[in-house]
Amino acid sequence: MADESTGGPGDPAADALRALIAALDGCVEELRSARLRAVDLLAQREAGRPWMDIVTAEARPLVVERISTVLASLAGAGSAFRREQAHALHAEEVSINRIAAMFGVTRQRISALLRDRPEDETA
């Protein structure tokens, strides 16, 4: 069985961190695309085009939709990593109070994170 402290297979916190990195990479690309689109929209507006024409002509996903997608992706991946990291620290016998201090949250929040692990992710 793999040692969870190595970051290899069988380490849910490392797996969650890998997923967070992948989400960050996807978000960077999505934000680059949204930025290019926003610059184009601003150029249209500065050229005197009415907002109604700009918005109705904008291809989907809209800039605001791209941003919402990025935020949701980061929130999900970040939450999963925080939860798995709390479990990993707790498994290393770090106290709930200490984990709370490291994460900058309350002891109650860490207790909730430790209880909040989807059934298919339990080891």
Return the closest-CA partner of residue 79 out of 103, 98, 101, 95: 103
3-7, 11-15, 29-33, 57-61: lowest mean pLDDT where? Answer: 3-7
For the chain, domain boundaries: 12-121
- The whole-model pTM stands at 0.78
Burial string for 34-72 (b: 16+ CB within 10 Å, else e) reads: beebeeebeebeeeeeeeeeeeeebeeeebeebbeebee
**Amino acid in the structure at residue 39:** V
Q: Look up tokens 């990291």; give the residue.
A: 85
Instruction: Name the burial class of residue 79, with classes exposed (0-12), middle (13-18) and buried (19+) by CB atoms within 10 angstroms of its CB.
Output: middle
Angle between helices 63-91 and 12-46 (to 10 degrees): 160
Which band of pLDDT confidence, cut at 50, 70 and 90, is reported for residue 116?
confident
What tokens does 27 get? 């978000």
What tokens does 72 get? 């949701």
Q: How far apart are CA 72 and CA 32, in angstroms?
A: 17
What digits encode the pLDDT tens for the residues 45-102? 999 999 999 999 999 999 999 999 999 999 999 999 999 999 999 999 999 999 999 9
